[in-house]
Copies of this chain bind each other. A is one copy, B any other.
Amino acid sequence: MAKSDLSATAMCTSANLRKAARAVTQFYDESLKNSGLKSTQFSLLAAASVAGTMPITRLAEEMAMDRTTLTRNLKPLETEGLLQVEPGEDRRVRNVTVTPEGEAALERAAPMWREAQTRMIDKLGDERWGELLRQLQSVRRMLRD
């Protein structure tokens, strides 16, 4: 690869996505600092809350996350008592449920998340922000097919 070929650095979809994800995650983490939750944990907890009781594999699909990654990510939240993982009827399955403590933690964190979200939208502008979200969803949809 010639030294002058910038495409793999400047144009790589994957690298650009990760780069932006790092920057934005730090931005949200800054706001969530005093919530006791990181962005990743807040997202996971919120997703689990909305989903209700749900097997690990299905929740992993929702999050576009490897199943084994989810298993590890559940650990700290489970330790904190924010969610529960219990066997289902089918004893192969383990179901994830947000505990009342988990819901309370979400309630506490929500305003901080909202503050970050608002600042983000202000910075980007409503228009551009909406477009970005559409693009991201579009990407995921394309990769599923």
A: residues with CB less than 8 A from B are: 1, 3, 5-9, 11-25, 27-28, 39-40, 42-43, 46-47, 49-50, 63-66, 103, 106-107, 110, 113, 116-117, 120-121, 123-124, 128-129, 131-133, 135-140, 142-143
**Of the candidates B116, B123, B136, which one forms a contact with A20 in the assembled complex, judged by CB atoms under 8 Å apart?**
B136
Q: For residue A137, which residues in chain B have a CB less than 8 angstroms away from its CB?
A: 16
What is the CB-to-nearest-CB distance from A133 to chain B, in angstroms, rounded to a whole number?
6
Majority-rule SS of A interface residues? helix
What is the CB-to-nearest-CB distance from A45 to chain B, in angstroms, rounded to a whole number?
9
Closest 3 CB pairs of A and B: A15-B43, A8-B46, A21-B21
